[in-house]
Structure 1
């Protein structure tokens, strides 16, 4: 067994290099050809481009990227983020993580990622639409988008609105294409999006945490009881992922004792009402000054270091580093964001007895439900539409038969519960839950079977094994 302390990482964080180092660590538990492993790590296509937009009487140059990391499965899949800190290394790393993420949860996509180097808050809606549509045109020109080629999705700084603009642009430039709406996921329901996509990533993180703490043996080693009841959680990020992670963890029995955002952090041992905090920030522009907070921190990083059982970084990468990991009091880190923990920090945390639920598994809920949306777009039928009424009528007939033969009488509430057919949202959530549950225990079992030191390494081992099999089935490697 190779211990975390034996892994050597560079002092300066380089995101793509970090991901490659994780693959190298996982490769020690496999017997794959060195050339095949090099192919698995490499980004197949990197497209960096720039285009001008008019702002008033002047022009501004916009930089965009789209990286297709692996074509072992087609199409490739990955979000598009709008951020001032977008750079080629980051997009490459996120594309690579998408490849491994899809493999872990058995979604048949290769990994990709896109980014535009802007702060969307600095642009009007009209300007953002212009940028998004022009970005889409650039992708179309180079064949970097299409339902069977490369399928983007929302990411940091983007959402349903931007995906609608992308879909409309693609439709305009591909008239008569039957499957055109499958060119992008995360669309509004009105544009044939899918119920449950908006909250999918956060719901998936909550499922991942729930599965982790459900294993009594693992929790005993941490000095915790099994289950989420009474677990204290700190959430970093009150965006889409952080909000919905908190929402579903509360539903599962956890208590949110802290929130961290870029303007600062708040903490209360008694816990917070999520919507009260969210509405306070919406009204004031900050989580600071919330009346029920016991501690306020103008330095957001301090919020990560408060007493809790579970820490969920759901913002950006490199938030937990070797500089602050020694002050983290949580016993479990659930990575809602991509790459929030640097490799050296992760190694230290694990050596000190903690558990990290890795990003490539924990935040896979988004791509899982995006897969469902893509299938819906290709089949041109909403989930549940064909069978829901039939199932309800069949269940009613069964209840009527039971009542007539046994003399028992069901209450209206009981009849409604038993007869109900599944809606699209219920089917989506069921599929997501099954995916997250099965994938967690697959990773955990592999970790114990091969005596691997961390869930992350085990997840990478599972991913590279699946990707390697795909390449071998293509006849590229014997």
Structure 2
């Protein structure tokens, strides 16, 4: 976490303490919000080939101020207790900021998934799920995991199946996990949710006239120059939504290096190029960058680091030319980088708000599973019939007809994906203004990250006070 004397979890605590002094809670409540409520560290044997391997895994529930807890499961050799605790804590604050009524949690299995066959991964995943069930660390009202690094819909289906088989007849079993394939009770729009949330959040910053005036930029997303680092799930979808909505994507960076073209890149063509050549480099008309890091320092208005943590740090922050930095990844800026960029007058949109699109749509998936009906199923046709009657009446009164394209737009009733997008858009817009109001009410030295933490601590603190659970 920037300073090597700090563990990742201590880094989160340091940000917490910075914001806590702007809240009114007594030290005891702040201490309760800060600590991890339950830490489950486990080791279990799984037969891999001819040998038995002992697998190390974790599940941390950071806060029980609201239930269930919520947070992803990652498969990585970097998984350790400190990292899982830090990510669980960030989940608590992230859910509070976007008004999703969950406590924060996180899970991890210390493996490199590339080293195992699908069958072996399934064995490990199902064993992990049964360990969670055994200790009551998973369930629709207890703790609802989701995908993270190294996991996806496939692993989520294995977990929900294991859960359901150990809890026969539980009617809400599908709600024990989110990020499932649509056929297994998942929700449409979940895959692109985080990237779309990044787009909505940055768009709202660009639509705020006062802030754009201060940065010397015109209002709106159109024509703004964007650089995206990381073409994984988050970065790819963010880049695509910026591109589709009139921003100029001038740079893209991946681990093998980056490409830059001040006139703009066609995101779809770059992805095609990468599929055929295995790399984004040597894209026609673009200049190759020697490294991913060098791409971040090119001229642009908006920078979206959506790859790894700590990519913008004390060493390179001063060379970043973007005026708006949107944290698509978790922790891409070190605390030192934060200070340097804030002094330069840039707006740093913090990860705990900006990449909360994933957990927001996970919440919609959980609601869908509990209500046992697809969003839009009841009212889509009703809306279409009503819109048809209104349109016919207006056309009858005016004697004019609308074009076929307009007709299609006006008559369209909401599908599940339309409702998911609109719920996410509303969440990202509302939450940005909550953070911005907090920022304006605090003193001038405060950055947006501290304001976001303050908003989160206030919401969690009020929950604890109202619960009155202090015997």
TM-score normalised to structure 1 length: 0.94
Deviations 1:101-159 (A, max 9, x none): 11011000000111112222222222222221111111111111110000011112211
Alpha carbons 1:113, 1:152 under 8 Å: kept: yes
Cα distance, 1:281–1:12 mapped onto 2, change above 3 Å: farther
Q: CA deviation at 1:37?
A: 0.5
Q: Which of 247, 250, 255 is the aligned partner of 1:254?
A: 247
Match of 2:320 in 1: 328
Instruction: Provide the rounded CA distance (Å) in 2 between the counterparts of 1:307 and 1:135.
Output: 46
Alpha carbons 2:257, 2:288 under 8 Å: kept: no
Cα distance, 1:209–1:40 mapped onto 2, change above 3 Å: same
Alpha carbons 2:250, 2:261 under 8 Å: kept: yes
Q: Which of 411, 415, 431 is the aligned partner of 1:419?
A: 411
Match of 1:461 in 2: 454
Q: CA deviation at 1:406?
A: 4.6
Q: CA deviation at 1:22?
A: 1.1
Match of 1:245 in 2: 238
Moved over 6 A (4+): none
Q: Which of 162, 170, 177 is the aligned partner of 1:184?
A: 177
Q: CA deviation at 1:11?
A: 4.8
Instruction: Provide the rounded CA distance (Å) in 1 between the counterparts of 2:398 and 2:258.
Output: 60
**What secondary structure, in the 3-state scheme, does the structure 1 residue paired with 2:304 have?**
strand
Instruction: Provide the rounded CA distance (Å) in 2 between the counterparts of 1:201 and 1:65.
Output: 24
Q: CA deviation at 1:380?
A: 0.2
Q: Which of 370, 377, 385 is the aligned partner of 1:378?
A: 370
Instruction: Provide the rounded CA distance (Å) in 1 between the counterparts of 2:111 and 2:249.
Output: 32
Q: CA deviation at 1:286?
A: 2.5
Instruction: Provide the rounded CA distance (Å) in 2 between the counterparts of 1:150 and 1:383.
Output: 23
Q: Which of 118, 128, 134 is the aligned partner of 2:121?
A: 128
Q: CA deviation at 1:287?
A: 2.3
Alpha carbons 1:19, 1:93 under 8 Å: kept: yes
Q: CA deviation at 1:360?
A: 0.5
Q: CA deviation at 1:361?
A: 0.4
Match of 1:316 in 2: 308
Q: CA deviation at 1:227?
A: 1.6
Alpha carbons 1:75, 1:110 under 8 Å: kept: yes
Q: CA deviation at 1:439?
A: 0.6
Q: CA deviation at 1:412?
A: 4.0
**What secondary structure, in the 3-state scheme, does the structure 2 residue paired with 1:59 have?**
strand
Alpha carbons 2:229, 2:235 under 8 Å: kept: yes
TM-score normalised to structure 2 length: 0.96
Matched, 1:93 2:86: yes
Match of 1:288 in 2: 281
Instruction: Provide the rounded CA distance (Å) in 2 between the counterparts of 1:71 and 1:443.
Output: 23
Match of 1:4 in 2: none
Cα distance, 1:282–1:85 mapped onto 2, change above 3 Å: farther
Moved more, 36-45 or 280-289: 280-289
Matched, 1:470 2:463: yes
Q: Which of 44, 49, 69 is the aligned partner of 1:56?
A: 49
**What secondary structure, in the 3-state scheme, does the structure 2 residue paired with 1:369 have?**
helix
Match of 1:220 in 2: 213
Match of 1:71 in 2: 64
Match of 2:226 in 1: 233
Deviations 1:436-469 (A, max 9, x none): 0011011111111223521111111111111011
Matched, 1:196 2:189: yes
CA RMSD of aligned residues (A): 1.7
Instruction: Provide the rounded CA distance (Å) in 2 between the counterparts of 1:254 and 1:61.
Output: 49
Q: CA deviation at 1:428?
A: 0.6
Deviations 1:22-48 (A, max 9, x none): 111111211210111011111111111
**What secondary structure, in the 3-state scheme, does the structure 1 residue paired with 2:91 have?**
helix
Alpha carbons 1:80, 1:156 under 8 Å: kept: yes
Cα distance, 1:284–1:121 mapped onto 2, change above 3 Å: farther
5+ residue gaps, structure 2, are none
Match of 1:119 in 2: 112
Match of 1:27 in 2: 20
